[in-house]
Amino acid sequence: MTSKNKINEDLANERRKCNFNIEEVTYILDGGKEKTLQRKKIEDVALNGGASVDDIPEEYLSARERYENAIRKSCIYTNIVKNEVLEITGIENYGSPVLRRTGDAFFKDISPFMLHLGMFVPSIIGQCTAEQQATWLPRALDMKIIGAYAQTELGHGTFIRGLETTATYDPETEEFVLHSPTITSYKWWAGGLGRTANHCTVVAQLYTQGKCHGTHLFIVQIRDLETHMPLPGVKVGEIGPRMGFNTADNGFLGFNNYRIPRMNMMMKNAQVLKDGTYVKAARHGKLTYGTMVFVRVTLVGEASFNLAKAVTIAVRYSAVRRQSELRPGSIEPQILDYPTQQHKLFICIATAHAFQLTASWLWNTFTAVQAEMKKGNVDTLPELHALSSCLKALSTSDATAYIEQCRFACGGHGYMLSSNLPFLYAFVVATRTYEGDYTVLLLQTARFLVKAWEQAESGKVVTPTVAYLNRHFTTNGKMIWDNSPEGIIRVFQSVAAGKISLCVRSIRNRITSGMDHEDAWLMTTVQLVNAAEAHCRSVILHTYWNEIVRLTKHSSDNVKTVLNQLVMLYLTYWALERTGDLLRYSTISENDIDLLQRQYEELLVKIRPNAVGLVDAFDIRDEILQSTLGSYDGRVYERLMEEVQKNPLNKEPVDPSFHKYLKPLMKSKI
Ligand SMILES: CC(C)(COP(=O)(O)OP(=O)(O)OC[C@H]1O[C@@H](n2cnc3c(N)ncnc32)[C@H](O)[C@@H]1OP(=O)(O)O)[C@@H](O)C(=O)NCCC(=O)NCCSC(=O)CCCC(=O)O
Ligand SMILES: Cc1cc2nc3c(=O)[nH]c(=O)nc-3n(C[C@H](O)[C@H](O)[C@H](O)COP(=O)(O)OP(=O)(O)OC[C@H]3O[C@@H](n4cnc5c(N)ncnc54)[C@H](O)[C@@H]3O)c2cc1C
């Protein structure tokens, strides 16, 4: 072994201490051994060529250079995927989370193609008829056309019904006329739209035969395929620097009476016939929002993966980093030995597991609902919408907070862009806003919960994720505290039921005292968000526990033990975080809380020897981590030094600005 790939001794020791089979845990997280092997094969094909390495790290480039470099790498990666990876996986895996994950080796920031695969293609699959799909899908998958998803406008993102772009049908020419009547109607934010896309999905208010039928989706060509010039009637550009996503050319777009053929309306759920007659095929009013539901479902896994990256970096760094003295003259401890550091980091490992397992469960729920909808049954859609909304909100919000916690855990070096933690934060914090803002989505879930509560009150059996509401009406008084996993979960469900119940009471009291329903709802929204959060916590705790029990049935004893310790840590952590709620809605005593605290601290001690093994089990290759602090070999200080050599500011010993400005300043008299 050369000194270059020699593993840091502290990290090597940690690996010797690890007492469970790391691969077994990787298989569980990936969804089975087959999936792990497939992922590894894809990573080998895509990454072993070393195409991801930038001579100059992208953070040193100008905005133009950075964009061009991102396009260059997107094309390299797309060619690898088209020519080599899909040979192995089949076309149906285009856009799969594995390819998304592997793509991270090519970009610290974002690929300008992300929205093409993330939303443009899914909108064709989900919103077009079979005939339309046959026209558009092969071209999109083959990158003959490159798309974006232009829904949000300068004036409206959340309130989709308030969008102002119009699509007015002209039966004379059998075309839609797209128009942006105001400044606020300009499309704003769409990823890949500013410089890259030549097509996009546009969401616009549909007018036909003089009547508005609400928002619908259209496929719109915006640039010439040969020259890439914006087509006449299209005004398009990049919106400017932002906190992250700086290589994703988020764009603006306006139309001046721009015409598209009738068949460019995505017609799966509604059609406009040649004569302008509007036909609604959908069995549910909100099926045009389907692409958003799909993306929200995938964002739970995205939150888990990015948190796994951050905690891999922070745990490895904490094993390498030594700081302070416990006793005078004693060897400086690894910072991972501080219980406060363990408190910051182990919850991140557990949360990444909780979200990963919840993401797989949610994906299965999503595909089951899709299958029902194919048969014409839309009854399960409201529950899926409520679930995907709150899980998207909480997973992105928790992942944001914990990635920042990982950065804090790395002290000053965590602030370096080369640690990759700032990039991870800037990416994940955006996911809390886009695809539906945190508060707005929790309020959607709250609508569902209040309805479910009313059903349970009237004695009806409610759907599985809110079945605890039926129990709420059959038990009297506070839930008996019980420190078993099932007991803690039951108490969290009681907290949710209690909070929903308070919301309903609050709304009813307000209505009784003269408010109309809208105002009573509005005045209760702070509580409603809180209740939806509590419901979602109970769903995550329940799912995480159930899945661990199910998935470790045949695991080796050590794997069972360590995964159990993690899920117990998660349950205990949240019980301690919510002692106020637990005191209010269960019989928990001060003594029980003391016991919980002790149990938590003991779990930190038990997990400590396996901490590095647990992050190794995420199996994230160095090329994907892209971190000076988090590499497998732990050569933290060497990597920070190597990175300094790439800094263009260090190319010359004296900067030209010295002669231009500094020296004259130093020479000038007061
Ligand atoms: C907030 C709402 C849900 C409100 O919509 P609305 O039309 O005003 O709703 P409403 O008329 O008050 O009716 C509410 C009703 O509609 C239902 N509903 C709402 N959304 C869905 C859905 N997706 N599936 C199934 N049902 C849905 C709700 O459950 C309500 O039902 P109810 O009346 O209670 O029976 C909606 O406007 C919304 O989803 N806003 C968020 C916008 C958003 O997510 N934009 C994403 C833009 S693309 C993007 O960000 C790309 C990111 C980049 C990337 O991915 O990389
Ligand atoms: C990096 C990034 C990429 C994006 N990519 C795309 C894309 O590709 N395509 C696209 O179409 N869009 C995209 N978006 C836009 C994104 O979907 C919207 O920004 C998002 O849906 C939030 O809408 P908004 O900006 O209008 O926020 P607003 O709705 O104006 O929210 C502002 C505040 O008001 C609050 N608020 C708003 N309405 C309510 C309410 N009813 N009740 C209580 N509180 C409320 C919110 O909670 C929030 O705190 C992107 C955004 C970002 C940041």
The partner residues of 280 in beta bridges, in order of sequence, read: 270
d(CA 613, CA 16): 9
Report the percentage of the chain scoring pLDDT > 70.
98
- Between CA 359 and CA 365 the distance in angstroms is 10
Question: What burial class does residue 73 get, using C-beta atoms within 10 Å of its C-beta: 0-12 exposed, 13-18 middle, 19+ buried?
Answer: buried
Instruction: Indicate whether 281 pLDDT > 80.
Output: no
Do residues 122 and 219 make contact, with C-beta atoms less than 8 angstroms apart? no
Q: Is 194 in the pocket of ligand 2 (CB under 6 A)?
A: no
* pLDDT computed for residue 284 by the predictor: 78
Find the 81 Cα to ligand 1 centroid distance in Å. 33
pTM (2 decimals)?
0.97
Residue 390: alpha-carbon gap to chain centroid? 12
For residues 211-216, give the mean pLDDT: 97
Query: CA–CA separation, 315 vs 620, rounded Å?
Result: 13
Can you read off the two tokens belonging to residue 353?
A: 């597991």
DSSP-assigned states of every residue in 48-75: TT-TT--SS-GGGS-HHHHHHHHHHHHH
Closest CA to 144 of 236, 82, 72: 82
Q: Give pLDDT, residue 61.
A: 93
Closest residue by Cα to atom 23, ligand 1, is 289
CA distances for 221 relative to 13, 216, 224, 344, 546, angstroms: 58, 16, 8, 48, 47
Q: Round to whole Å and give the CA distance between 488 and 594.
A: 15
> What would the mean pLDDT of 111-123 be, rounded to a whole number?
94
**DSSP label at residue 482:** -
Q: What is the pLDDT of residues 260-271, one digit of tens each?
A: 999 999 999 999
Does residue 333 surpass a pLDDT of 80? Answer: yes
Buried b (16+ CB within 10 A) or exposed e, 11-33: beebeeebebbbebbbbbbbeee
* pLDDT category of residue 51 using cuts at 50, 70 and 90: low
Per-residue model confidence (pLDDT) at position 4: 58
**Cα-to-centroid distance, 389 and ligand 1 (Å):** 9
Of 206-215, 342-351, 369-378, 557-566, minimum mean pLDDT range: 369-378
From atom 1 of ligand 1, which residue's Cα is the shortest distance away?
158
Binding site per annotation, positions for FAD: 152, 191
Q: Across the chain, what does the average pLDDT equal?
A: 95
Give the separation between CA 511 and CA 514, rounded to whole angstroms.
5
Provide φ and ψ at 499, rounded to 5°. -70, -40
Q: What is the pLDDT of residues 235-259, one digit of tens each?
A: 999 999 999 999 999 999 999 999 9
Provide the terminal-to-terminal Cα distance of the chain, rounded to the nearest Å: 61
Domain over 143-281 is classified CATH 1.10.1200.10: no
- Record the tokens describing residue 270, joined without a space: 């509604």
Q: What is the pLDDT of residue 3?
A: 53
The CA radius of gyration of the chain, in Å to the nearest whole number, is 27
SS3 (DSSP) at 364 = helix
pLDDT for position 455 = 97
Query: Structural domain boundaries of the chain?
Result: 143-281
Q: Residue whose CA is closest, atom 14 of ligand 1?
A: 444
**Residue given tokens 């069972």 in the structure block:** 560
382 lines ligand 1 (CB under 6 A): yes
Task: Output the CA 190–ligand 2 centroid distance in Å.
Answer: 12
Probe target for ligand 1 pocket from 249, 294, 385, with the most ligand atoms within 8 Å of CB: 385
Whole-number pLDDT of residue 287: 85
Catalytic one of 435, 533, 547, 623: 435
Atom nearest to 152 CA in ligand 2: 11
Looking at the predicted structure, is the pLDDT value of residue 1 above 50? no
Q: How far apart are CA 123 and CA 120, in angstroms?
A: 5
pLDDT of residue 623: 94
Mean pLDDT value of segment 170-185: 98
Please tell me the residue having the least CA distance from ligand 2 atom 40: 440
Closest ligand 1 atom to residue 295 Cα is 55
Give Cα 151 distance to the centre of its chain.
Answer: 19
Helix (H, G, I), strand (E, B) or coil at 205: strand
Residue 594 has pLDDT above 70, yes or no: yes
- Residue 158, ligand 2, Cβ within 6 A: yes
- The label of the residue with tokens 């970096």 reads 313
Which pLDDT value is given to residue 98? 84
Going by C-alpha positions, the residue among 388, 403, 391, 360 that lies closest to residue 29 is 360
Place of tokens 């599985």: 464
Residue position matching structure tokens 């008084």: 477
- Rounded to an integer, the average pLDDT of 542-566 is 98
223 has pLDDT over 90:
yes
| Residue 84 confidence class, pLDDT cut points 50, 70, 90 | confident
Question: Which pLDDT score is estimated for 282?
Answer: 67
Question: Which ipTM was obtained for this model?
Answer: 0.99
Q: Which residues contact 219 (CB under 8 A, 6 or more apart)?
A: 124, 128, 132, 136, 147, 199, 200, 201, 202, 260, 264, 266
Which ligand sits nearest to residue 447's alpha carbon? 1
What would the mean pLDDT of 127-135 be, rounded to a whole number? 97
Instruction: Identify the DSSP state of 660.
Output: I
Instruction: Return the closest-CA partner of residue 220 out of 243, 209, 204.
Output: 204
Percent above pLDDT 90 for the chain: 89
Per-residue pLDDT band for 97 (boundaries 50, 70, 90) equals confident
Cβ neighbors of 231 (< 8 A, separation 6 or more) are 221, 222, 223, 224, 258
In this structure, the strands spanning 199-208 and 166-170 are parallel
Which of 85-94, 410-419, 486-495, 589-598 bottoms out in mean pLDDT, i.e. has the lowest?
85-94
Indicate if 590 belongs to the active site: no
Give 453-502 pLDDT, tens digit per residue: 999 999 999 999 999 999 998 887 899 999 999 999 999 999 999 999 99
Residue 16 has pLDDT above 70, yes or no: yes
- The set of residues, in sequence order, having a beta carbon less than 8 Å from that of 373 and lying 6+ positions away, is 283, 381
Q: Six-digit token pair at 186?
A: 């300009």
Chain centroid offset of residue 592 CA: 35
Q: Using the structure block, give the residue that is written with the tokens 């389907």.
A: 290
Nearest CA to ligand 2 atom 45: 440
Mind listing the pLDDT tens digit for each residue in 396-431? 999 999 999 999 999 999 999 999 999 999 999 999
Q: Give the integer Cα–Cα distance in Å for 552 and 290.
A: 34
What is the reported pLDDT for 2? 45
Q: Is 436 in the pocket of ligand 2 (CB under 6 A)?
A: yes
